[in-house]
Every structure is written in structure tokens, then in C-alpha cells.
């Protein structure tokens, strides 16, 4: 039917749990389509390769369709106007294709909560220079977090948590991600020390690297310069030594969680200066 709707720019058919069947291939003929929202239904099959041919499409939400399976289509690289892509909460499998670095307009990419999505995080993402927000949590990615995100100068929200097969150190190159405001790396299996990089991330508001039981070593003292930080969570790790008395300049801190580590010594006197603190 969509081949006759050549002036249609917006289509929203959402949150209909009894709406089933495959995604119509004829949508490719809606050549003026800019926003296509099909989330929260019970669509079946795979995402059509035809979406790569929709040259006007800027926003595609086909998330929350738990019966949608198969790989993420390689053809999406041809959707050159795409700015927002949501394929989260489905059941996609395979690895993330090496296409998103070639989508120069892409700003928001949400691939999270696909438990069958495996393999490494693509190095080519470094070329997605317009990327503002990237969600890869709740998948089953393997290997290390690559040293690419420091080169993504527009990136402000990076959420790669609850991937228990992600290992290795936290990338030190993150210090170059100067626009980063929200960084979530909890519930993985990172190893080594929490690096002394976060003090150089002056825009950072939320940092959560909790529930990485192999993260060890001292509390990073460089955090004393992260004056924009409102939430800091280092809980459920293996950090040790004393908690440094560095919190005097962290005046915006509202949530601080250091529980279930191996800290020793006395509590920092500078905690009394955290007048906005709500949870400790």
C-alpha cells in the first residue's frame, strides 16, 4: 500500500502488542518518508534491507519488537540522511556490522538489549564523527572496549554496560572525549586499575564503572578536578587503599557509591563539604 503514499513524511504505528507479521517491503516506495516509528509492536522476521534505499529517512525506530531477529542490515549504510536509529530490545543476532562509521549524519545509535548481538565493538565507529549518543548495553559483546571513543569529539553519552564478556582495561584514550557527560561501563569484566584519566574529562557528569569485580587499585586522585560530576559509582569492585581527601572541589556531587570494595583507613573530612550529596 505504501507505494501510493509518495508524500508521506511521518509514519507512527507504535505500541500495538497484537500487531504482528513482517515489516512491509513496500515502505521503500514512500520516498518522502523522514520519520518511521514502528516500535513496541510484535513484528516478526528481520528488518528489511530495503530501508537502506530510503534516502529521505532521518529517524528510524523499530525497537521493542522481541520477535524481530536476524542481523542488522548492512544496507543501512546507504541511508545517508539517517540521524537516529533505534533497533534496541529486539532479538538481533550476529555482530554489529562495520557500517556505522560510514553514516556521517548519524547522531543517535541505540543497539542495546539485544542479548544475541555478539562479537567485538567495531573499530569503524571512530569515523561516526557526528555521533552524540551510543548505547550498546545488555548485549553480549566480546573482547576489549576499543581505543576509539576518545576520537569521537561529539560523543556525550556512552553506555556499554552489562556485557559480561567485555574484558581488559578501561581505555585511557577516553580522556580525549572532551564532550563526554555520561559514561556507563558497569557490569562488565574490566581488569586492572581505574585509570587517572577522568580528571581530564571536564564535562563528565555521571561516571559508573561499578560491578567490575576485577577492577582494583587505589581511588584515582585526579577526580578532584571533575567539578561537573554529580554521580560517581565505584561499588562492587576490588579497589583498595585509603579514600583520598579530595572531595572539596566536587561541589556538585549528589550520589557517591564506594561500597563492597577493600578500602581502609578513615573517612575523608572533605565529605562534609558535599552539601548537595543525597546518597552515600
pLDDT digits (tens, 9 = 90+) for 199-237: 999 999 999 999 999 999 999 999 999 999 999 999 999
How many whole angstroms from its chain centre is CA 252?
Answer: 24
Nearest alpha-carbon partner for 160 in 198, 199, 134, 193: 134
Q: CA 77 to CA 57: how far, in whole Å?
A: 12
Predicted TM-score (pTM) of the model is 0.96
Q: Average pLDDT of 124-143?
A: 97
Give residue-wise pLDDT tens across range 140-182: 999 999 999 999 999 999 999 999 999 999 999 999 999 999 9
Give residue-wise pLDDT tens across range 99-124: 999 999 999 999 999 999 999 999 99
Residue 192 lies inside a defined structural domain of this protein: yes
Q: CA 143 to CA 147: how far, in whole Å?
A: 12
Instruction: Please check whether residues 17 and 131 belong to one and the same domain.
Output: yes
Q: What is the predicted pLDDT for the residue at 29?
A: 87
pLDDT band at 18; cut points 50, 70, 90 = very high
Residue 147 lies inside a defined structural domain of this protein: no
Sign for the pseudo-dihedral over CA of 129, 107, 208, 228 = positive
Residue 7 lies inside a defined structural domain of this protein: yes
pLDDT band at 243; cut points 50, 70, 90 = very high
Instruction: Please check whether residues 74 and 36 belong to one and the same domain.
Output: yes
Nearest alpha-carbon partner for 162 in 182, 135, 195: 135
**Cell triple for 150:** 576518545
Q: What is the predicted pLDDT for the residue at 169?
A: 97
The b/e string for 69-86 (b: 16+ C-beta within 10 A; e otherwise) is beebbebbbbbeebbbbb
Instruction: Please check whether residues 137 and 1 belong to one and the same domain.
Output: yes
Q: Average pLDDT of 120-135?
A: 97
Instruction: Please check whether residues 116 and 47 belong to one and the same domain.
Output: yes
Instruction: Please check whether residues 261 and 188 belong to one and the same domain.
Output: yes
Instruction: Please check whether residues 111 and 187 belong to one and the same domain.
Output: no
Q: What is the predicted pLDDT for the residue at 28?
A: 87
Torsion angle, alpha carbons of 162, 167, 172, 176, to 10: -40
Q: What is the predicted pLDDT for the residue at 276?
A: 97
pLDDT at residue 3 greater than cutoff 80: no
pLDDT at residue 240 greater than cutoff 80: yes
Q: What is the predicted pLDDT for the residue at 2?
A: 72
Who contacts 169 (Cβ-Cβ below 8 Å, separation ≥6)?
Answer: 144, 190, 191, 192, 193, 195
Show which of 141, 176, 196 is a domain's final residue: 141
Q: Which domain holds residue 179?
A: 165-280
Who contacts 248 (Cβ-Cβ below 8 Å, separation ≥6)?
Answer: 224, 270, 273
Instruction: Please check whether residues 202 and 134 belong to one and the same domain.
Output: no
Instruction: Please check whether residues 116 and 207 belong to one and the same domain.
Output: no
The b/e string for 14-50 (b: 16+ C-beta within 10 A; e otherwise) is eeeeeeeeebbeebbbbbebbebbbbbbebeebbbeb
Instruction: Please check whether residues 137 and 175 belong to one and the same domain.
Output: no
Q: What is the predicted pLDDT for the residue at 142?
A: 98
How many whole angstroms from its chain centre is CA 36?
Answer: 22
Q: Say how many domains are in the chain.
A: 2
Sign for the pseudo-dihedral over CA of 91, 181, 104, 99 = negative
Q: What is the CATH number of the domain that holds 264?
A: 3.80.10.10
Amino acid at each position: 500500500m505504501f507505494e501510493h503514499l509518495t508524500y508521506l513524511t511521518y509514519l507512527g504505528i507504535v505500541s500495538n502488542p497484537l500487531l504482528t507479521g513482517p515489516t512491509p517491503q513496500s515502505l521503500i516506495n514512500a520516498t518522502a518518508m523522514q520519520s518511521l516509528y514502528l516500535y513496541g509492536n510484535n513484528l516478526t522476521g528481520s528488518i528489511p534491507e530495503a530501508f537502506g534505499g530510503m534516502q529521505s529517512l532521518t529517524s528510524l525506530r523499530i525497537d521493542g519488537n522481541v520477535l524481530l531477529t536476524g542481523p542488522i542490515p548492512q544496507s543501512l549504510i546507504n541511508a545517508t540522511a539517517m540521524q537516529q536509529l533505534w533497533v534496541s530490545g529486539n532479538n538481533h543476532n550476529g555482530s554489529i556490522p562495520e557500517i556505522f562509521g560510514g553514516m556521517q549524519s548519524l547522531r543517535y545509535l541505540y543497539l542495546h538489549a539485544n542479548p544475541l548481538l555478539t562479537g567485538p565493538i567495531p573499530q569503524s565507529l571512530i569515523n561516526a564523527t557526528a555521533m552524540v549518543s551510543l548505547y550498546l548495553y545488555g548485549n553480549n559483546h566480546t573482547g576489549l572496549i576499543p581505543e576509539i571513543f576518545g576520537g569521537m569529539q561529539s560523543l556525550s553519552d556512552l553506555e556499554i554496560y552489562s556485557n559480561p564478556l567485555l574484558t581488559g582495561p578501561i581505555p585511557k584514550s577516553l580522556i580525549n572525549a572532551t564532550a563526554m557527560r555520561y559514561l556507563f561501563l558497569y557490569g562488565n569484566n574490566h581488569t586492572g586499575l581505574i585509570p587517572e584519566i577522568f580528571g581530564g574529562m571536564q564535562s563528565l557528569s555521571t561516571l559508573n564503572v561499578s560491578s567490575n569485580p576485577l577492577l582494583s587499585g587505589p581511588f584515582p586522585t585526579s577526580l578532584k578536578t571533575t567539578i561537573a560530576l554529580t554521580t560517581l559509582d565505584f561499588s562492587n569492585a576490588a579497589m583498595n587503599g585509603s579514600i583520598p581527601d579530595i572531595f572539596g572541589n566536587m561541589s556538585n556531587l549528589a550520589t557517591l557509591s564506594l561500597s563492597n570494595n577493600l578500602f581502609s583507613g578513615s573517612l575523608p573530612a572533605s565529605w562534609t563539604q558535599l552539601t548537595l550529596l543525597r546518597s552515600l
